[in-house]
């Protein structure tokens, strides 16, 4: 099925949770912020959300910045 991650379309297996997806990308949980279909999702809910066709995932991170 197709989902959009950080603005790019991607083909993924059906039935993946957010946690599964992050693991597939070797991303450590706790290091990222997840916006799922326009809503920020707290980390304790990541395991419960199963990705579906046409979902939109933004995977964000706090980076150095000042001015």
Partner 1 sequence: MADKLVIGDQELDSRLFTGTGKFAKQDLIPETIKAARSQVVTMALRRVDFDSPQHNVINYIPDDCVLLPNTSGARTAEEAVRIARIAEAAGCGNWVKIEVISDNKYLLPDNQETLKATEILAKEGFVVLPYVSPDLMVAKRLEEAGAAAVMPLGAPIGSNRGLKTKELVRILIEEIELPIVVDAGIGKPSQAAEAMEMGADAVLVNTAIATAKDPVVMGDAFAAAVEAGRKAYLAGTGAVKKYASASSPLTGFLKEDQE
Q: What CA dihedral angle connects 27, 31, 36 and 38, to 10 degrees?
A: -140
- Least distance (Å) from partner 1 to the CB of residue 64? 4
Residue 43 near residue 17 (C-beta atoms within 8 A)? no
Q: Which helix (H) or strand (E) is 36 found in, with range?
A: strand 33-36
| Region 6-65 residues binding partner 1, contact defined as CB under 8 A | 6-7, 25-27, 30-33, 35, 40, 42, 58-65
- Least distance (Å) from partner 1 to the CB of residue 58? 7
Phi then psi for residue 20, to 5 deg, are: -60, -45
- Least distance (Å) from partner 1 to the CB of residue 24? 10
By the criterion CB under 8 A, which residues form the site for partner 1?
6-7, 25-27, 30-33, 35, 40, 42, 58-67
């Amino acid at each position: 099925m197709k989902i959009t991650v950080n603005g790019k379309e991607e083909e993924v297996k059906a039935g993946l949770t957010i946690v599964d997806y992050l693991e597939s990308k070797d991303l450590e949980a706790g290091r990222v912020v997840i916006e799922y279909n326009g809503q920020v999702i707290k980390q304790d809910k990541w395991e419960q959300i199963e990705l579906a066709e046409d979902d939109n995932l933004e995977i964000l991170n706090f980076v150095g910045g000042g001015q």
